[in-house]
Structure 1
Amino acid sequence: MQAKKSEDMADSKVEAQAYLDNLLNNGSQEGDSGSELELPSWYDEQLFKRGQAYFSKYRFVMTSGMLAGLIAVLAVPSILRVLVCTRQSSNSFTAYRRYVRTTFHTHAWYYYSIEDRSSKFWTSIAAVRKAHSRSSHVSGRRGAGQITQKDLALTQFGFIGFITVGAHRIQLYDPDFLEATCHMWRVIGYLLGIKDEYNICGRNWAESRPRLEIVMHKVYKPALSSTTDEFYRMTEALIHGLWHVNTMLSVKANIFFTKRLAYVKGYEYFSFDHLVGEERDPKQKSCYYDLGFWDRFIVSYGLFIVTYLHKYAFVRWYFNFRVWLMDLFTYYLPYVAIWKFGIKWAYVSIFKSGGKALELELTKDD
């Protein structure tokens, strides 16, 4: 039995390495899959709907994981070049509007029916795919390269990678959540133009997990271990933009959270933050002590909640409610953004009154 298990693990590692090699080599040469906006043959309605339902149950940690994923994505050079080139998030104003739009689109994928072809789920998917095509065209024309299959798959990791492969670190032991969430994002990835061979979500969790882990350890960990000034500047714009949604956000604290999730050395907080079989280096400096008092408080407070308290239903309900309330204000009364940007620019919409998608806006002048 043990020998069979070891053999299966070895096979999954080989398959994951083959997936990564194909993604980094061939995936970096291909753009959008060109597939029609139709559900794939392997779509499972019940599994997809369960994936949607889990957002209500784990809203707080899923939102936190996605934010860390968005920061991590900025460490990928090819993706960063596109964002810089298209000027979609280079300052707090454009970052606020871009990432609030991203949040609203993500909500549409979790809230609206995939079975109804006239629902806002499909309107949102079509709008995002069109926006990707437009950004890819602009980026290519300006010499920064097109958006590739590799970029799409690595961005896909940003939405679910940390919350799935890191679930055990917050004592989230829910196999159906992992299975359903991966299927849901496999479908979304397909609809957004990712070919099956590059989709970071495989046929099931057993196939998806090694892909997610190898991408985290061989792409994101190295990238986040040697971040650039441009990464910091774009992360600063992101956090300063989203500060108008959540005033508890901090640039240095959120970078710490992200690098810790990717197992970057020096960003350990708990003893279990070291990989299995990896001994702590006594000479390794802890970056936690480089943080100021307020950032240390945010890190300690946040990690205590998700590590020790999130497992309790009442605590989950309370923090889920807080995030829901922030989202509600962002939709209907973004008072902090109104104070900073004015009423006209504080309100962000992704749909017109009739339900059609709004075109992507980049800056006040565009």
Structure 2
Amino acid sequence: MMRAYSAHIDRYGYVMKEEDQTGVDDGYETCSIGSAPASAVEEEEERDVRMLAHLLGGIEVDMPRDFDAIFENMPEWIDPVKLKRGQRFALDYYFGVSFSEVVSLYVLFALSKNGLETLIRTNRSNTPYRAYRRYYETSEIVRTWLETDILEPGTEGYENLRKVFRMHRQIRDDKFRNPSKYETAQRSPGTTDGRCSYLLPDLRKDFVRVPPGCVEMFAHTEQHDLNSFSQCYLAITQFGFFGLALVYPEWFGIHNCSRRDMEDFVHLWRTIGYFMGLSDEYNFGRGTLDEVIDRSRWLVRAMVKPKFRDLTTKWEHMSRCVADGLRMYMPSSMPFDTSFCYLCDVFDLDVTNFKKTIGFWQQVSVWWTRFFMKYLMRFDCVRRTMNMYVFGCLKRATVEFNDETVQARLKDKVFDYCS
């Protein structure tokens, strides 16, 4: 049964319940970019540079060393009630939120060359089998952040916050002790070379039309930086967990949400970001809901889309590993070609050549997914069914994870780009 509200819709498409409507005035004026005067375009460019300069300032700020100190000095803005509501929302829309996090990995791989090289060097997700184990474990960690009290020491969620923080710190310290290992990730056949790059030629034809944005400024800075766990990169990673679901909710089956729902969802990830070592200045979830949405849209427009102009063979390889690894424990999930095509539609990118390459039936699959997310997922019964499917896959994967027979079968699967 669909939830019904007697409410207004705000400019971002979220339902405003009675408590949301009081004093709401976002202060924005709408305009058509296509007909914007030169001064408006110049103002937008200046704003892009200003926002990017602030983000890049985080490159100079390292992650903290001590998780216990972070926990003991929690800021006053952390609200246990909002946090619990945010957890409930993320669980209620688990299927759609999880899908947004998967395709966000394609975004994160494209945004940071250093981050991608570091990921390759950890040797934990550069084949489909390794990606399956890594991202299954990640999904289980995230689930504990949603199902347990992360503010209570000793809970599974709290211990996983500590675990992930220490893992990041360990990789960061190793990278600074042995920088030569990370300048260019070591090559091994079929893992970092990305020799089978089926899509890149057509993608490059399509993305050449995308404006370059601020990527040159970002790339120049990145050349002189080795820290993949600076405030800048932590903030970008944090965006991957909630940004797409926030800006494009209907594309990921998230419907009938109030502003308070989304504020709580952002608060959840703002809090988790804090425990991962993000300062308030660089936390992607800081500010009002409108500010976070605006910041997320800016990142997509000024950084993500332009970065797609420079996709590499390593990007395609690691992205394929994610999709094929996911299909090892969630068989009906979308293959890489289809899921990336769907992401391009989300971003309203013209990928005519790419769509010709993937073929008719995969285009039909993209269309069906769009219809399913935008319309069928409006029904609570469908949403709950899809949540149950994902939770069922995770439950089965938990049993299979330590089953030697199953693991041997999965490990022996052959992929032509990993031969």
TM-score range, shorter chain: 0.7 to 0.9
Residue 319 of structure 1 corresponds to: 386
One-letter identity of the residue aligned with 1:308: Y
1:57 to 92, 112, 115: 92
Taking a change above 3 Å as real, the CA distance of residues 294 and 6 of structure 1, as seen in their structure-2 partners, is: closer
One-letter identity of the residue aligned with 1:146: N
Which residues of structure 2 form unaligned runs of 5+? Answer: 1-22, 32-39, 184-225, 413-419
Residue 13 of structure 2 corresponds to: none
1:220 to 304, 307, 311: 304
One-letter identity of the residue aligned with 2:61: E
The question of whether the paired residues in 2 share the 8 Å contact of 1:202 and 1:208 is answered with yes
Residue 280 of structure 1 corresponds to: none
Q: Identity of counterpart residues, as a percentage?
A: 22
Asked if residue 166 in structure 1 is aligned to residue 248 in structure 2, the reply is yes
1:69-218 to 2 correspondence within 5 Å? Answer: 69-76=104-111, 77-140=113-176, 141=178, 142-144=181-183, 145-147=226-228, 148-169=230-251, 170=253, 172-174=255-257, 175-218=259-302
Q: List 4+ stretches of structure 1 deviating above 6 A.
A: 7-17
SS in 2 for 1:117: coil
The question of whether the paired residues in 2 share the 8 Å contact of 1:40 and 1:190 is answered with no
1:295 to 359, 362, 384: 362
Q: What is the CA-CA distance between 1:227 and the residue it aligns to?
A: 1.3
Taking a change above 3 Å as real, the CA distance of residues 12 and 314 of structure 1, as seen in their structure-2 partners, is: farther
Asked if residue 45 in structure 1 is aligned to residue 94 in structure 2, the reply is no
Taking a change above 3 Å as real, the CA distance of residues 109 and 166 of structure 1, as seen in their structure-2 partners, is: same
Q: What is the CA-CA distance between 1:292 and the residue it aligns to?
A: 2.8
Question: Whole-Å Cα distance in 1 between the matches of residues 368 and 158 of structure 2?
Answer: 38
SS in 2 for 1:40: coil
1:304 to 371, 384, 387: 371
Q: Which stretch shows the higher mean deviation, 204-213 or 103-112? A: 204-213
Question: Whole-Å Cα distance in 2 between the matches of residues 87 and 111 of structure 1?
Answer: 30
Taking a change above 3 Å as real, the CA distance of residues 4 and 91 of structure 1, as seen in their structure-2 partners, is: closer
The question of whether the paired residues in 2 share the 8 Å contact of 1:33 and 1:195 is answered with no
The question of whether the paired residues in 2 share the 8 Å contact of 1:162 and 1:261 is answered with no
Instruction: Write the deviation string for residues 220-265 of structure 1: whole angstroms up to 9, x where unpaired.
Output: 11123431111001111112211111223311112212333334x2
The question of whether the paired residues in 2 share the 8 Å contact of 1:73 and 1:154 is answered with yes
Residue 21 of structure 1 corresponds to: 53
Residue 4 of structure 2 corresponds to: none
Instruction: Write the deviation string for residues 297-352 of structure 1: whole angstroms up to 9, x where unpaired.
Output: 43122111101111111111111111111111112235999535369x89xxxxxx
Question: Whole-Å Cα distance in 2 between the matches of residues 307 and 247 of structure 1?
Answer: 22
Taking a change above 3 Å as real, the CA distance of residues 72 and 87 of structure 1, as seen in their structure-2 partners, is: same
SS in 2 for 1:197: coil
Instruction: Work out which structure has the larger RCO, using CA pairs closer than 8 Å and 6 or more positions apart in sequence.
Output: 2
Question: Whole-Å Cα distance in 2 between the matches of residues 87 and 97 of structure 1?
Answer: 12
1:233-248 to 2 correspondence within 5 Å? Answer: 233-248=317-332
Taking a change above 3 Å as real, the CA distance of residues 244 and 237 of structure 1, as seen in their structure-2 partners, is: same
Residue 61 of structure 2 corresponds to: 30
Q: How many residues align?
A: 326
Q: Which stretch shows the higher mean deviation, 82-91 or 176-185? A: 82-91
The question of whether the paired residues in 1 share the 8 Å contact of 2:124 and 2:131 is answered with yes
Taking a change above 3 Å as real, the CA distance of residues 171 and 117 of structure 1, as seen in their structure-2 partners, is: closer
Taking a change above 3 Å as real, the CA distance of residues 4 and 184 of structure 1, as seen in their structure-2 partners, is: closer
The question of whether the paired residues in 2 share the 8 Å contact of 1:150 and 1:198 is answered with yes
Residue 190 of structure 2 corresponds to: none
Question: Whole-Å Cα distance in 1 between the matches of residues 292 and 52 of structure 2?
Answer: 12
Taking a change above 3 Å as real, the CA distance of residues 254 and 341 of structure 1, as seen in their structure-2 partners, is: farther
One-letter identity of the residue aligned with 1:32: M
Residue 281 of structure 1 corresponds to: none
Residue 261 of structure 1 corresponds to: 346
Taking a change above 3 Å as real, the CA distance of residues 311 and 146 of structure 1, as seen in their structure-2 partners, is: same
Q: What is the CA-CA distance between 1:133 and the residue it aligns to?
A: 1.1
Taking a change above 3 Å as real, the CA distance of residues 171 and 61 of structure 1, as seen in their structure-2 partners, is: closer
The question of whether the paired residues in 2 share the 8 Å contact of 1:27 and 1:198 is answered with yes
Taking a change above 3 Å as real, the CA distance of residues 320 and 143 of structure 1, as seen in their structure-2 partners, is: closer
Asked if residue 252 in structure 1 is aligned to residue 341 in structure 2, the reply is no
Question: Whole-Å Cα distance in 2 between the matches of residues 72 and 137 of structure 1?
Answer: 25
Q: What is the CA-CA distance between 1:177 and the residue it aligns to?
A: 2.2
Question: Whole-Å Cα distance in 2 between the matches of residues 29 and 194 of structure 1?
Answer: 13
1:5 to 27, 51, 57: 27
Instruction: Write the deviation string for residues 159-183 of structure 1: whole angstroms up to 9, x where unpaired.
Output: 1111001114456241222100111
The question of whether the paired residues in 1 share the 8 Å contact of 2:87 and 2:268 is answered with yes
One-letter identity of the residue aligned with 1:196: D
Question: Whole-Å Cα distance in 1 between the matches of residues 30 and 77 of structure 2?
Answer: 24
Question: Whole-Å Cα distance in 1 between the matches of residues 145 and 131 of structure 2?
Answer: 21
